[in-house]
Amino acid sequence: MARMTASVYTSHVPLIGVAIDNDLTQDEYFKPLFDGYQIGRQWATANTPDVVILVFNDHANAFALDIVPTFALGMSETFAPADEGWGARPVPSVEGHPALAAHIAHSVIRDDFDLTLVNNIPVDHGCTVPLSIMYDRPSSWPCKVIPLFVNVVQYPIASAKRCLDLGKAIRRAVESFDEDLNVQIWGTGGMSHQLQGQRAGLINQPWDQAFLERLVHDPEDLATMEHVEFVREGGSEGIELVMWLVARGAMSDLVGGKAPVEVHRHYHVPASNTAAGQLILEEANPH
């Protein structure tokens, strides 16, 4: 049977992709950020899964504001990098896993989550930057990827608890898939940042650090946080952190298993106009 072995949490700041694409990672500004990614990259190389379920939000590239699904699952064999206004990133296309995606769709919808199922849709920096953070610049990505789009752009937005519960449902789906697959789930976006308005440039380091602690040690309590606190403390784009709860919900301790092992934590300010965070949690018995 398929098994969930780890969860990864990372910011998906577009400037990080620009730095990678243009060989700027060792420049004075970027070096401290990318030095902190090295342990994660080493872990990723040693623990490459068969499939990553990659949770991210679209930035008006796959979905215009006339149709915004709350949760959408990518069903295709291939997802091309999106042209975000200055050309597509020079990265490989994302190769999907339609069989596992179809199984997840059936299982999660039977668990009363109304997924939108999408084909032939591009993936923007929300998806490709996390892959670059972990795998740098390969000729092809080393694993299959199932994109899971979460609306954090247009209200109403799913609650933090709903996102955590979706992760639990995804775990059940993966564990009932009749194929020997090593699966990871990645939650992306955040951390604290605001891109517009009177508070543009907001970064709240103490709140970010507290969020990381609660995500590791008390995710059920963290999932009671209301949207207003995400926005008040983490900025308007800090709401992206609900996507980290989807990934956290897929770990076994929330269904009676052992607490996950924290492999790596990295936090850096600033990365562009945001705080950048990274966390890797591995199942206590991943194999």
Report the top-level CATH class of 3-282. alpha beta
pLDDT value at residue 135? 98
* Domain boundaries, given as residue ranges, for the chain: 3-282
Q: Is 287 designated active site?
A: no
Res 2 pLDDT > 60: yes
E strands within the chain? 3-10, 51-56, 71-74, 78-79, 94-95, 116-118, 144-150, 182-188, 261-271, 274-282
Measured between alpha carbons, how far is 178 from 287 in angstroms, rounded to an integer? 16
Q: Which residues contact 26 (CB under 8 A, 6 or more apart)?
A: 34
Contact (CB, 8 A) for 53 and 131: no
Q: Which long-range contacts (CB under 8 A, 24 or more apart) does 61-67 make?
A: 61/122, 61/124, 62/118, 62/121, 62/122, 62/123, 62/124, 62/149, 63/149, 65/153, 65/154
pTM: 0.97
Neighbours of 83 (CB within 10 A): 12
Confidence class for position 285, pLDDT limits 50, 70, 90: confident
Confidence class for position 65, pLDDT limits 50, 70, 90: confident
DSSP 238: G
Q: Is 125 designated active site?
A: yes
pLDDT value at residue 106? 98
Nearest CA-CA partner of 272 in 187, 208, 200: 200
Q: What totals of helices (H) and strands (E) does the chain contain, helices first?
A: 9, 10
Considering 12, 97, 103, 193, which one is annotated as catalytic? 193
Measured between alpha carbons, how far is 165 from 223 in angstroms, rounded to an integer? 9
pLDDT value at residue 286? 59
Tokens (6 digits) for 235: 């900025």
Instruction: Return the percentage of the chain with pLDDT > 70, whole number.
Output: 99
Q: Is the dihedral angle over the CA atoms 134, 252, 190, 150 positive or is it negative? A: positive
DSSP 20: H
pLDDT value at residue 131? 98
pLDDT value at residue 64? 87
- What mean pLDDT value characterizes the chain? 96
Angle formed by the axes of helices 160-175 and 242-249, nearest 10° = 30
Confidence class for position 157, pLDDT limits 50, 70, 90: very high
Considering 125, 264, 266, 268, which one is annotated as catalytic? 125
Contact (CB, 8 A) for 56 and 149: yes
pLDDT value at residue 287? 55
